[in-house]
A and B are shown apart, each in its own frame.
Chain A
């Protein structure tokens, strides 16, 4: 609110085309199966679908009943069934069961499977194995991108993270490439593409391939540069507690597809309310990027303004009153409603977070980021585990400890793990195995200091075969070099001055001034240097795979100047609202406009829940 942009930020391209495109494609596919039909929708496609088409649109195209895919026998009586699903083997197997069940009494129906955003051969193989390949028709709905807001586009593929980084399954890479290609063909050509991370590189290559296969059209570019980044480049940021309003709301109430459900404790009634959180919400758009400590100040100011606006009607004559009612009142009422909701949400957040525990928690996090008083932190975590405060929170702290400290001492590693298992059950052995594989929670090799580690990683990168090995087993051999990175990039600001959260001076404000998110800092640095020049040490510590490619279109600086300042950042494996806030801040400071494309919005709980081993 108080920030004045140094340069006017350029206008963002209009992403609503993406929605229209997806809707038209879906309608076309539905028309391919003429007549009345029942539609089965995969549970996690419900919300994205809601954003682009409503029930009446579906009904218009002869969808009779809507069902959620629940992996149970179907009760539909329609003779045409249409399945709208993600290309997942479990779902396909369920469809096979449905079809085969119909075969027993000799019921004949028409089946159509629409995979979105694409189909996989493995799914077709299952259909073939189960002998129903000939009974169903298969289509692809290329619904790659869902705009969640003016500047946020999501692929809504949370499994991308798990599949790609944990299981080493690269099936989604091409999807990411196709998504990028879609953006390119609508808003390109891009003048420069930067990236870091193995997956980013592959997605980039997949995209390039698609560009070469397709036809070239000369168009006015609407997006300047592109930055691709893998989630595993920076695990620290998503593991920190979020304290910016939007992030905090996500941590506590879980924003789903840009929409949050506020429970009775927020609405102070007995009903839950679903609220869309985006720039259309005037109240929210002003506080979403604010540190939580400023939110109340803003809200009270807003409340006072609102009161004044209401008060205006005193002393009005009839004519004025009429004008007031017809012009202003509706807006005021709307604002009133939103304001009370956000105040309710803030109060609810306070109730949950004001406790001493939260302060202690933040303090521990900050100590970890700075690398001070590690012993105390460990005992704090121990207590956290012992008291069973929260299964995921404890894990989060453990991971944060391991990453920032480059692994735990063997003694600590064992005892913390043992205690965790005692608290939450031995099945978490698998969780720990997953975390180790991702390099999130590892044991320090005895006798290894930081420098030894650094040189070793350096060797690994140089040595080709060893490089392959690291590639192969994903992050098995990967070590975090957080401390060194933090020094190189100044991620933890000097602490001898007071940090005024009301007037942030850098992106660290999103973590109360304690830490500048690594991912965003990298983006800032690369944009500033127009490449990776001078960041060699940093990329070495990050395990390489960085690239910077100038696009095919010659950049004529005139007229395109505005476009050049529109940067598309693509997070492969998810990004947090805090990161988005940080980028918005950076944009305001430097006159950029960032568009965030992510495989899904994530936060610490989603990240870690994906890695829990006990629900396989």
Chain B
């Protein structure tokens, strides 16, 4: 066990250890000297800009991007302006802050994504210093300009620049400064000479850290912890003050006895830290200063860069990378020399067991006697999580598994989860991947983000493997990876559209949660419109295709896809989009090719924009509809002149539509309207707007026979209609003499049965009878029945030898008409003999009579009603 504790250094009552993470696989010619370096926490990527100040166009500085293990992602000459600061966002994007305040954003592979500016005033006064910081709001940037003003942006994805108030007496840049995030506010803490200021949105306040005496000198370096909770201040006399970042409480004050300003100063602590410390780095020395006043010194050979992590500090040199951290308590318990902690005993027991020594039993007994076996297993499992070396992990896990065998009701969850997570962690820690995450960091980062980071680095197969291994639901796991993969695939310039589309389709298939339209949108962003359309074809839901197609200005296609989707709301969305985008003519032409959309739009226009409707028909040369439109409009028009002119337009259009019938009908209507108007003026008849028939009716009832006659002739009203009209009108007015005269004026085109019936309707049986004799033989029976003359009816029926008619008469007979009944029955019997001859034509009628027969039951029903009511 000695070999594990060999790298441990005591600090107060805790230990610190340095673990080697990687031999860096990069080969840097000049090491890290003269370079601007930015390395992201959580084992993030490293960006290097060599000689950032070199400005001659002949030799541009080189920007290089590496993984944490030194694997190259990208390298390209820097062509933009001088860079002040590099930094990484939470989503692994590289921020390059230029002297002129422009911030350029690149992805891991060095392709430019976008840029923004830190404000107009920066252009005149350069950026002197900049810091990239992370907060719950995302990644932020703070700059200080040569005019000594600070500007902040708390989230670069939702850019809101805040210019902080002026700092009194500040010239140029302050001697040191940090960004603090407290109480949801982002502030700047800065020192200028002996003074310390806090700058927030509105004010600049002088502050004094509690317990720091002015004799200690002015502050030359400061550092805030990963969680923004603790602050370390270094004075020019070498005093290191540590305390809460609110400056309210002091933790300790240590005299480092170094008066040179260190290159970097960082907090090194972890959650539930026993012994937090601050790490200071000079050219040749790394000093760990514990809050307990003790220190550890490490010599340095190469120039190094320190990266603060939540549970330690990574030290990157040109040749290797180490993790400096406080040894976790549980590891201390297990590995500390002569530790009697249950975990340590269990590990020992297992080691003896493997040696087949009976000592194993002794150790186990010892643990069991204290009933600490459960605790021992837990300790081993937990410690395994904190160890970086796989062999140590294995021996700890084996010991845990061994101890578990002697426990009956011990939940295996922790053990299983840790096994799985270690497997994942070991995979991503591999030098070829280069994500040196500790278990604590992994828990903080979450698996989702880890997968995202793998995806950013384009380790798609590994990401998918991990998702499958940890059984993450598809839409959160595999599908998400595939989506990224596909979006990346479409950017490959060396492949043809077809090849890419095919490749995407094969891989993605119909995984749930992967939207082809998103992938297509990506392709379109990369300027591959054709590919985008090909990809859209795979999209099963045509509704999803529409927005992108619109964006791509493929409006026709968008419209037809919308129609295909059967979602009228979508169709309408496209239509209203097109309406605003296109000129009218094109818009109508487009609609014309899409009948569904056209009818939808017409419906809308009918209710909202009548005028557009007209234009629409005009464009289509749809004269028929146009004419109909005018006719409709004419009915909304109250003034006669307006109505006539609309009707005239209708006539013109009907003419163009070659609808002669409608032309004539409309012209007639106009004629009628004029006629009505004239009569209204002359007689006040109130005719305007009535139909021809009603007009004539009104005229007749007003006694204006001449005018009615005129209409009859002018409009070529069929004789039948006119006769019916006049007949009814005269009967209603009970002008019986007129009626008789009229009946004799010429042969009635409607026959005389009508006269009989109308008279009966007007309750004039006497007049009705006058016309019975004139009725044609076929209708004689009906006529007789109508006037209630049963005998006459019977005579007529018998004369015509018509059985059906006889039946009809019979059905009307009541017992008092026994004579008639007898006669009819006799006649029927006579016919029955010759029945055969009639049979051929009778059945036809039979059904008709039977279907009308409900009406024969009436008498019986009336009596029932009588019973009940």
Interface stretch, picked from B94-102, B177-185, B426-434, B854-862, is B854-862
Distance A527 CA – B485 CA, assembled complex (angstroms): 50
Provide the A336-370 mask, 1 if CB < 8 A to any CB of B, else 0: 10011001101100100110101100110010000
Judged by a CB distance under 8 angstroms, whether A466 is at the interface is no
B749 to chain A, nearest CB (A): 10
A490 to chain B, nearest CB (A): 16
Q: A356 to chain B: which residues have CB within 8 Å?
A: 782
A589 to chain B, nearest CB (A): 21
Interface stretch, picked from A293-301, A401-409, A456-464, is A293-301
Q: B568 to chain A: which residues have CB within 8 Å?
A: 120-121, 169-171, 173-174
Write the chain A residue with the least CB distance to B602.
A167
Judged by a CB distance under 8 angstroms, whether B815 is at the interface is no
A168 in contact with B631 (CB, 8 Å): no
Question: A417 contacts which of B596, B661, B782, B861 (Cβ < 8 Å)?
Answer: B661
B868 in contact with A419 (CB, 8 Å): no
Question: A170 contacts which of B566, B661, B662, B672 (Cβ < 8 Å)?
Answer: B566
Distance A388 CA – B570 CA, assembled complex (angstroms): 47
A350 in contact with B848 (CB, 8 Å): no
Distance A232 CA – B720 CA, assembled complex (angstroms): 35
Distance A170 CA – B602 CA, assembled complex (angstroms): 12
Judged by a CB distance under 8 angstroms, whether B607 is at the interface is yes
B667-712 interface (Cβ within 8 A of A): 668-669, 672, 690-693
B850 in contact with A501 (CB, 8 Å): yes
Judged by a CB distance under 8 angstroms, whether A495 is at the interface is yes
B569 in contact with A296 (CB, 8 Å): no
Question: B843 contacts which of A340, A429, A496 (Cβ < 8 Å)?
Answer: A496
B718 in contact with A120 (CB, 8 Å): no
Residues of chain B at interface, number, CB under 8 A: 65
Question: B852 contacts which of A295, A359, A422 (Cβ < 8 Å)?
Answer: A359
Write the chain A residue with the least CB distance to B629.
A430
B717 to chain A, nearest CB (A): 6
Write the chain A residue with the least CB distance to B667.
A426
Distance A304 CA – B865 CA, assembled complex (angstroms): 11
Judged by a CB distance under 8 angstroms, whether A6 is at the interface is no
Judged by a CB distance under 8 angstroms, whether B444 is at the interface is no
B693 in contact with A90 (CB, 8 Å): no
A89 in contact with B693 (CB, 8 Å): no
B756 to chain A, nearest CB (A): 12
Question: A167 contacts which of B603, B668, B692 (Cβ < 8 Å)?
Answer: B603
A424 in contact with B691 (CB, 8 Å): yes
A498 to chain B, nearest CB (A): 7
Distance A93 CA – B604 CA, assembled complex (angstroms): 12
Interface stretch, picked from A146-154, A379-387, A556-564, is A379-387
A296 in contact with B600 (CB, 8 Å): no
Distance A121 CA – B692 CA, assembled complex (angstroms): 44
B721 in contact with A386 (CB, 8 Å): yes
B717 in contact with A90 (CB, 8 Å): no
Judged by a CB distance under 8 angstroms, whether A425 is at the interface is yes
**Known pairs A121-B569, A299-B864, A430-B632; A422 contacts B717 (CB<8 A):** yes
Question: A292 contacts which of B576, B599, B717, B854 (Cβ < 8 Å)?
Answer: B854
Question: B624 contacts which of A121, A366, A433 (Cβ < 8 Å)?
Answer: A433
Distance A300 CA – B859 CA, assembled complex (angstroms): 11
Distance A336 CA – B864 CA, assembled complex (angstroms): 12
B662 in contact with A429 (CB, 8 Å): yes
B566 in contact with A339 (CB, 8 Å): no
Distance A292 CA – B854 CA, assembled complex (angstroms): 7
Distance A346 CA – B862 CA, assembled complex (angstroms): 11
Judged by a CB distance under 8 angstroms, whether B405 is at the interface is no
Distance A122 CA – B715 CA, assembled complex (angstroms): 46
Provide the A158-191 mask, 1 if CB < 8 A to any CB of B, else 0: 0000010001111101100000000000000000
A407-432 interface (Cβ within 8 A of B): 414, 417-419, 421-427, 429-430
Judged by a CB distance under 8 angstroms, whether A53 is at the interface is no
Q: A299 to chain B: which residues have CB within 8 Å?
A: 861, 864
Residue among B566, B572, B843 facing the most chain A CB atoms (10 A cut-off): B566
Question: B692 contacts which of A293, A307, A422, A512 (Cβ < 8 Å)?
Answer: A422
Write the chain A residue with the least CB distance to B693.
A423
Question: A202 contacts which of B566, B631, B691 (Cβ < 8 Å)?
Answer: B566
Question: B691 contacts which of A296, A306, A425 (Cβ < 8 Å)?
Answer: A425
Q: A501 to chain B: which residues have CB within 8 Å?
A: 850-851
Judged by a CB distance under 8 angstroms, whether A132 is at the interface is no
Judged by a CB distance under 8 angstroms, whether B355 is at the interface is no
Question: A296 contacts which of B631, B635, B750, B860 (Cβ < 8 Å)?
Answer: B860
Distance A331 CA – B721 CA, assembled complex (angstroms): 55
Distance A424 CA – B715 CA, assembled complex (angstroms): 15
A174 in contact with B864 (CB, 8 Å): no
Write the chain B residue with the least CB distance to A172.
B568
Judged by a CB distance under 8 angstroms, whether A21 is at the interface is no
Residues of chain A at interface, number, CB under 8 A: 84
A495 in contact with B847 (CB, 8 Å): yes
Question: A427 contacts which of B566, B635, B861, B869 (Cβ < 8 Å)?
Answer: B635
Q: A417 to chain B: which residues have CB within 8 Å?
A: 661, 665
Judged by a CB distance under 8 angstroms, whether A126 is at the interface is yes
Judged by a CB distance under 8 angstroms, whether B628 is at the interface is yes
Judged by a CB distance under 8 angstroms, whether A70 is at the interface is no
Judged by a CB distance under 8 angstroms, whether B846 is at the interface is yes
A125 in contact with B572 (CB, 8 Å): yes
Judged by a CB distance under 8 angstroms, whether B8 is at the interface is no
Q: B846 to chain A: which residues have CB within 8 Å?
A: 498
Judged by a CB distance under 8 angstroms, whether A253 is at the interface is no
Q: B595 to chain A: which residues have CB within 8 Å?
A: 168, 471-473
B827-869 interface (Cβ within 8 A of A): 843-844, 846-848, 850-855, 857-858, 860-862, 864-865, 867-869
B853 in contact with A293 (CB, 8 Å): yes
Residue among A293, A344, A422, A512 facing the most chain B CB atoms (10 A cut-off): A422
A499 in contact with B607 (CB, 8 Å): no
Question: A429 contacts which of B573, B666, B718, B724 (Cβ < 8 Å)?
Answer: B666
Judged by a CB distance under 8 angstroms, whether B567 is at the interface is yes
Provide the B601-628 mask, 1 if CB < 8 A to any CB of A, else 0: 0111011100000000000000010001
Q: B661 to chain A: which residues have CB within 8 Å?
A: 414, 417-418
Q: A174 to chain B: which residues have CB within 8 Å?
A: 566-568
Q: B632 to chain A: which residues have CB within 8 Å?
A: 430, 613, 616
**Known pairs A206-B566, A343-B868, A423-B691; A382 contacts B720 (CB<8 A):** yes
Distance A169 CA – B860 CA, assembled complex (angstroms): 53
Distance A205 CA – B542 CA, assembled complex (angstroms): 13
Q: B717 to chain A: which residues have CB within 8 Å?
A: 422
Write the chain B residue with the least CB distance to A616.
B632
Judged by a CB distance under 8 angstroms, whether A279 is at the interface is no
Other than the given A89-B607, A297-B857, 20 more pairs (CB < 8 A) read A93-B607, A120-B569, A121-B572, A168-B599, A174-B568, A293-B851, A303-B867, A304-B864, A307-B868, A343-B864, A354-B858, A382-B720, A421-B692, A423-B693, A425-B690, A426-B691, A427-B631, A433-B628, A472-B595, A512-B851
Can you list 24 pairs linking A and B with CB atoms under 8 Å apart? A125-B576, A169-B603, A170-B599, A174-B568, A206-B566, A268-B869, A293-B857, A300-B860, A303-B864, A343-B868, A344-B865, A354-B855, A358-B852, A366-B851, A421-B668, A422-B715, A422-B721, A430-B628, A430-B632, A473-B595, A495-B843, A496-B843, A513-B847, A514-B851
Binding site for B on A (CB under 8 A): 89-90, 93, 120-122, 125-126, 163, 167-171, 173-174, 202, 205-206, 209, 243, 268, 291-293, 295-297, 299-300, 303-304, 306-307, 336, 339-340, 343-344, 346-347, 350, 353-354, 356, 358-359, 362-363, 366, 382-383, 386-388, 414, 417-419, 421-427, 429-430, 433, 471-473, 495-499, 501, 512-514, 613-614, 616
Nearest 6 pairs of A and B residues by beta carbon? A512-B851, A168-B599, A472-B595, A293-B854, A425-B691, A426-B669
Binding site for A on B (CB under 8 A): 541, 566-570, 572-573, 576, 595-596, 599-600, 602-604, 606-608, 624, 628, 631-632, 635, 661-662, 664-666, 668-669, 672, 690-693, 715, 717-718, 720-721, 724, 750, 782, 843-844, 846-848, 850-855, 857-858, 860-862, 864-865, 867-869
